[in-house]
Amino acid sequence: MTDHLDLVPLGFFPTPIDKWDNLGRELSISLSAKRDDLSGLGGGGNKIRKLQYLLAEAKAEKATTLITAGATQSNHVRQTAAVARKHGMRPLALLRGQLPPSPSGNLLLDELLGAQLEFHDRDDFNAMVVDLMLERKAELEASGERAYVIPIGGSSPLGALGYVDCAKEMREQFDARRQRHPDYIVVAMGSGGTYAGLVAGCARYLPNTQVLGIVITTAAFASRDCAASLLNDTARLAGVDRRWDAEDLLLNYDHIGPEYGVPSQEGNAAIRKVAEAEGVFLDPTYTGKVCAGLIAAVGETIPAGSDVIFVHTGGSPALFAAR
């Protein structure tokens, strides 16, 4: 159980479950969306649930600065910067890539939040980023500050507890409506925390529901072995008495597109399809590719007639920077 662990309330929870009848009819499934894009602070998104636990630990350590990292259009960096400002801390973010001529999308919002941004244009960024963040932490603490390091995506076992809570929240919503529990939950698999938390949470609260992760990156942390390790550590912390091997995970690696953060043709088609069918905006890095994966999975991994929840993890600001 996560009830004994401290968290700092940050979001507008419970987020709604939105019935997507038009797209569901087209796909021959019963389709709804868990609208975590509406979680509130900093424009909303899935990182808010993770940050509730991570911020509690940062405050317990009396941190004055939150240090994190991500891609130039990182949703996680935006949300972390907003949380830092809301709680009187300074946000420092290491970003992979180059400073563009003019900021747009998430990067513009980072600047509005006054985040200190460092750009690192290097191929080994993911391999080196932890060391780089620890270097910044040491530098800050040598000058008298206290810094707390948040991993990419907030994807530690502690952060992933936010999505154990999300599974519990959905169970309560289904039961309040006397609604059958879904056959499948479909969600992005990037840094792994959202996926790990949902799988562990479903094992406790929605045991007949399978979680399909649509992988959107080739980074090492999205490998089956890394995903299983994070999942097992999360389950242990949450008190879930189950362990998973890498081959137990329901993951699809077919929808990454050209590379992480680069829009794909099928992802863009899914963004347009959802906008026209349901009046909801997805993003080109995560949810567009995930929805494309969901569409392709119907009739294969997901049988026609299934009850499916699509987790909308946010990210629409990146639409305004899409190439």
Angle between helices 157-176 and 193-205 (to 10 degrees): 50
Q: Who's near 88: CB < 8 A, 6+ residues apart?
A: none
CB 148 within 8 A of CB 65: yes
* Radius of gyration from C-alpha coordinates of the chain: 19
* 30, 74, 156, 264: the active-site residue: 74
Alpha helices in the chain (DSSP H): 21-27, 47-60, 75-86, 105-112, 125-142, 157-176, 193-205, 224-238, 265-278, 287-297
Q: How far is CA 157 from the centre of its chain?
A: 13
Task: Give the separation between CA 316 and CA 285, rounded to whole angstroms.
Answer: 9
User: Is 104 annotated in the active site?
Assistant: no
Structure tokens belonging to residue 159: 């952060």
131 burial via Cβ count (<10 Å: 0-12, 13-18, 19+):
exposed
Side chain identity, residue 304: A
Residues catalogued as catalytic = 74
